[in-house]
Structure 1
Amino acid sequence: MTASPLRKDHGAASRHPAIRSWPRTTRDQLPLALWSAAEIAEAVGGTASGEFQCSGVEMDSRDVRPGDLFIALKGEAMDGHKFVEKAFAAGAAAAIVDRPVDGPHVLVGDTTEALHALAHHARDRSSAKRIAVTGSVGKTGVKEAIFSALDRSSRGHAHRSVRSYNNHVGVPLSMARMPARSRFGIFEMGMNNAGEIQGLTANARPHVAVVTTIAPAHIENLGSMEAIADAKGEIFSGLVEGGTAVIPADSEYSARLIGHAEKAGAKVVTFGRSEGATVRILDAIPAANGGSLITAQVGDTRLCYSVAEPGEHWIANSLCVLAAVQAAGGDLGAAGLALAELGGLKGRGARHQLTVPGGKALLVDESYNANPASMRATLRQLGQTPATRRIAVLGSMKELGDFGPAMHAALADPLVDAKIDYAILVGEEMKALGQALSRARAAALSQDMGKPAGEALGNIPAFAHCEGPAEAIAAVEEYGLAAGDAMLVKGSNSVGLGKLVDHWTARRS
């Protein structure tokens, strides 16, 4: 019997020529494991106890996963060496320590210095374009959006700092976690005082440095808005030669930031509504899902895209994202798709549908952070959200110093403008807002004594003041959520309003 022509064998040399001729690049020679014992020892100048490989890096034994490298950092109040055994029990593959331990390890003189050395080695071994993001408002959301855009266009080869790992420990830890094969690395940078970002950006050496906006966060420590702008502008000092500075064109401190960027020799890219902005909004209309449909001019390119996240502030954020993605050599089309799919983060805009009597109520979780600018933006968005009743649970804004009482009291007008039905004010600093609302209600009643109280008060909300989250939970329970309600929960993280969010989302089904 003769063989069928369909089964004819032309020999191994002719099989799958496309696969056999697949182009090889230098990236293909890079290791798949995050770190090997030899690489760690070389990077930190330490001595490895033996051969091992690690798939992650962690400094908190509670977060260790199988395969991680545990770095036993020593702080003022805690010594990570006390938790080495716990880290190994959780599956750590090895540890960086300053004393011999039972288990695979690299022995060094100083574990903090070793963390920084490992971060620098991770930075230098990779050809990834690095993007650094700071700003008084929106830096975590913008960081996540840039990552989503670049991860999509690089097919999974983007890396970023997780959560808010944006300080002198979080940034090097995030860098040490960056795989050698990464094409992009996005790192958030925060500060409480002048000089802090300068140290962070000097370590990261970004190709693109982004400032989202300037607002009175940490003004207690810095003393003025100009000083805040200067502290944020430090991010440009670490740019590589020929790097790009991304700056908000609509900020009144734009020129000040541009001055810092030019001093650093950076190429300047601006974003906003201003006529001369490099990335400029041409049109924006509300979308059916609560977000926005936007047309923007990006250099010589006109781009139409949608943003899933609601609010005017996210329109500005999206322009910032486009500017950063283009500066890093990413794909604008992928950025548009990422913005269309982006969801709110826990504590930073996550939206929950709660099951309540009669149907569903909306809870907007902004419990992680708060300053005057972000408070105004989220209250404005709440006012634009269709709802039967609007409830605002507002926690104290921290680190405002002597400016605090006036800045808290100034939130009375945004509450009125947003047509809030009931406000629950949480924390000592929020007493100033309660006093402002009391004065406004008294003035309204005295001016319209002939009208019913509800009509005389207009949009001035009723309110309750609570000392902490437990009282706030009780206050919401007493008020009673009903179908069609929309509730915003926002405050500085230390107020603890995440407990209120957890209380309600645990019951949402």
Structure 2
Amino acid sequence: MSDLWTSEEIATATGGTASAPFTVSGVAFDSREVTGGDLFVAMKGEATDGHRFLDKAFDQGAAGAITSQPVDRPHVLVKDSAAALEALGRASRKRMAGKVIGVTGSVGKTGTKEALFHALDRATPGSVHRSVKSYNNHVGVPLSLSRMPRDCDFGVFEMGMNHAGELSALTRLVRPHAAIVTAIAPAHIEFFGTEAAIAEAKGEIFEGLEPGGTAIIPYDSPHVATLYNKAERYAGRILTFGLGAGADVRACEAVPAPGGGTLVTAALPGAEICFTISAPGEHWVSNALAILAAVEAVGGDLGIAGLALAELPGLPGRGERRRVPAGGGEALLIDESYNANPLSMAATLKQLGREQAERRIAVLGGMRELGERSVELHEGLVGPLTAGRVDYAILVGDEMTPLARRLDGVVAFDHVADAEAAITLLQAQVRAGDAILIKGSNGIGLSRLVATFQQTMSWPAATGKDTD
């Protein structure tokens, strides 16, 4: 593995003092994720102190550490380890000579980030860096930046927020050449009050654009004007994407593709491209258009990007599709267990309604951080459930009580307290030919349902992969 950082570079970037010369090939702040050659950043948090895990990190192969107290290991001593990680991320961005893309949005940002990585990496294998998992906050973004190889051609970074001002700080670290807002939905509305306020906060991603950078915004969003007005203040160029005829990057035609997914003919300002996206659903057509806009903005290869979109792997928790042995045959399980808000619930239920299945089952966990609108927005899922032709639903958690009251007599359902009860119920209900959607906020714990099946059954990956 090539050297990512030398101890001298780390000390220079962070204003710290190196105890001895060393080099590292990776960066981690969780001792459980440390692998050979890593730099371990020992940070003090509210619940624990990373310095307690230094021995574990070095036992697992750490080559050095950033610490805020002297230790008997190779390290760079700093005043504040968290501030040092941010400084290291800033230094990494400064030395990177390639193009950087930032991604945010209420829904779809992780899937879009992953798909954008594949679209660029297929043309230039090994030269694209991106955030791993959903590392998109004040710690995850500096970590992802600090892991970026010094010689990569492209960097793709996901940025999230649940309060105003957070994206403003993150985007100034990332300094993107192109910045995408995927969509606006009432996610985290508890902290904002209105969708308009969420749109204003998401628009902060444009504040960090490099001079002449491109803002990429959803044309079909009711908040397009808010985003456009924000972008005009910071972007050298604005590209809208969507299904509407006025979008700069638009789907002229989108039809179901043989074997799953969607066949799309897209028009860009200077090109037209026909491609297949493996992930089914209108929301993924929208994501794909944003991806093409970003590829075009940073000078990537549109044709190869189209090929990559046809080969996207599914993401666990965000639409991964697998075949579950059931009743002497198979059932399709769609894993959307990582996150949920009203917009993503509606999109995935709509796609469930298009699945060819004997029965359509929806296991839905509560949507969190909806504040005063929680009752209203959960009740509002009646329409998407019926539009999704759901035959049977399992509602999980107290947040689903308003929906349970409205759903009686409309769709067959059971309402249970937690994920464990849902596991027992689903295991008893699954039949061959079922299509099962599992979706809820991460805190509900529906990933445990998926894990239970993974531990007890051997699943081949399903065709027609999907991510969210």
Scaled by the length of structure 2, what TM-score is found? Answer: 0.96
Q: Distance in 1 between matches of 2:152 and 2:398?
A: 46
SS state at 1:470 partner? helix
| Cα distance per residue 1:106-163 (max 9 Å; x no partner) | 1111111110111111001110211110000100000001111111222210000000
The alignment status of 1:501 with 2:447, answered yes or no, reads no
The alignment status of 1:464 with 2:434, answered yes or no, reads no
Q: Read off the aligned partner of 1:471 and give its amino acid letter.
A: A
Q: Please report how far the alpha carbon of residue 180 of structure 1 lies from its aligned counterpart in structure 2 after TM superposition.
A: 0.3
Q: 1:35-54 to 2 correspondence within 5 Å?
A: 35-54=5-24
The aligned counterpart of 1:56 is 26
The alignment status of 1:473 with 2:423, answered yes or no, reads yes
The aligned counterpart of 1:245 is 215
Q: Read off the aligned partner of 2:308 and give its amino acid letter.
A: A
| Cα distance per residue 1:41-73 (max 9 Å; x no partner) | 111111112221111000000110111000001
The answer on whether the counterparts of 2:42 and 2:54 sit within 8 Å (CA) in structure 1 is yes
Q: Distance in 2 between matches of 1:137 and 1:268?
A: 21
Q: Please report how far the alpha carbon of residue 387 of structure 1 lies from its aligned counterpart in structure 2 after TM superposition.
A: 0.3
SS state at 1:274 partner? coil
Q: Please report how far the alpha carbon of residue 266 of structure 1 lies from its aligned counterpart in structure 2 after TM superposition.
A: 3.4
Q: Please report how far the alpha carbon of residue 77 of structure 1 lies from its aligned counterpart in structure 2 after TM superposition.
A: 2.0
The alignment status of 1:192 with 2:180, answered yes or no, reads no
Q: Please report how far the alpha carbon of residue 482 of structure 1 lies from its aligned counterpart in structure 2 after TM superposition.
A: 1.3
SS state at 2:394 partner? strand
The aligned counterpart of 2:463 is none
The answer on whether the counterparts of 2:215 and 2:235 sit within 8 Å (CA) in structure 1 is no
The aligned counterpart of 1:201 is 171
One of 395, 400, 415 as aligned partner of 1:425: 395
Q: Please report how far the alpha carbon of residue 99 of structure 1 lies from its aligned counterpart in structure 2 after TM superposition.
A: 1.4
The aligned counterpart of 2:437 is 488
Q: Distance in 2 between matches of 1:508 and 1:327?
A: 44
Q: Distance in 2 between matches of 1:417 and 1:206?
A: 39
| Cα distance per residue 1:243-273 (max 9 Å; x no partner) | 1100001111111100000012431011112
Q: Distance in 2 between matches of 1:254 and 1:190?
A: 19
Q: Read off the aligned partner of 1:251 and give its amino acid letter.
A: S
Q: Distance in 2 between matches of 1:470 and 1:484?
A: 24
One of 67, 76, 81 as aligned partner of 1:97: 67
The aligned counterpart of 2:313 is 343
Q: Distance in 1 between matches of 2:158 and 2:226?
A: 21
SS state at 1:136 partner? coil
Provide runs of 4+ in structure 1 moved above 4 Å: none
Q: Distance in 2 between matches of 1:175 and 1:265?
A: 22
The answer on whether the counterparts of 1:353 and 1:508 sit within 8 Å (CA) in structure 2 is no
Q: Distance in 2 between matches of 1:350 and 1:265?
A: 35
SS state at 1:190 partner? coil
Q: Distance in 1 between matches of 2:240 and 2:124?
A: 25
Q: 1:440-459 to 2 correspondence within 5 Å?
A: 441=409
Q: Please report how far the alpha carbon of residue 423 of structure 1 lies from its aligned counterpart in structure 2 after TM superposition.
A: 0.3
| Cα distance per residue 1:296-327 (max 9 Å; x no partner) | 00112110000000111111110010001111
Q: Read off the aligned partner of 1:211 and give its amino acid letter.
A: V
Report 1 or 2 for greater relative contact order, CA contacts < 8 Å, sequence distance ≥ 6.
2
The alignment status of 1:129 with 2:99, answered yes or no, reads yes
Q: Read off the aligned partner of 1:469 and give its amino acid letter.
A: A
Q: Distance in 1 between matches of 2:95 and 2:388?
A: 51
Q: What runs of 5+ residues in structure 2 fail to find an aligned partner?
A: 459-468
Q: Distance in 1 between matches of 2:95 and 2:238?
A: 27
The answer on whether the counterparts of 1:236 and 1:266 sit within 8 Å (CA) in structure 2 is no
The answer on whether the counterparts of 1:33 and 1:55 sit within 8 Å (CA) in structure 2 is yes
SS state at 1:394 partner? strand
SS state at 1:384 partner? coil
Aligned residues, how many?
458
The aligned counterpart of 1:279 is 249
| Cα distance per residue 1:177-235 (max 9 Å; x no partner) | 00001111111000111111001001111111100001111111100011000000000
The aligned counterpart of 2:464 is none
Q: Say which one has the larger Rg.
A: 1
The answer on whether the counterparts of 1:354 and 1:505 sit within 8 Å (CA) in structure 2 is no
Q: Distance in 1 between matches of 2:220 and 2:194?
A: 19
One of 430, 435, 444 as aligned partner of 2:405: 435
The alignment status of 1:263 with 2:233, answered yes or no, reads yes
Q: Read off the aligned partner of 2:444 and give its amino acid letter.
A: V
One of 352, 357, 370 as aligned partner of 2:340: 370
The answer on whether the counterparts of 2:2 and 2:25 sit within 8 Å (CA) in structure 1 is no
Q: Read off the aligned partner of 2:448 and give its amino acid letter.
A: K
One of 401, 420, 426 as aligned partner of 2:371: 401
Q: What runs of 5+ residues in structure 1 fail to find an aligned partner?
A: 1-30, 442-459
Q: Distance in 1 between matches of 2:78 and 2:251?
A: 52
Q: Distance in 2 between matches of 1:271 and 1:419?
A: 29
Q: 1:305-316 to 2 correspondence within 5 Å?
A: 305-316=275-286
One of 187, 205, 209 as aligned partner of 1:235: 205
SS state at 2:374 partner? helix
Scaled by the length of structure 1, what TM-score is found? Answer: 0.89
Q: Distance in 2 between matches of 1:501 and 1:486?
A: 14
RMSD: 1.1
Identity between Structure 1 and Structure 2 (%) = 56
The aligned counterpart of 1:148 is 118
Q: Read off the aligned partner of 1:464 and give its amino acid letter.
A: D
Q: Distance in 1 between matches of 2:135 and 2:29?
A: 12
The answer on whether the counterparts of 1:354 and 1:507 sit within 8 Å (CA) in structure 2 is no
Q: Distance in 1 between matches of 2:220 and 2:120?
A: 25
Q: Read off the aligned partner of 2:432 and give its amino acid letter.
A: A
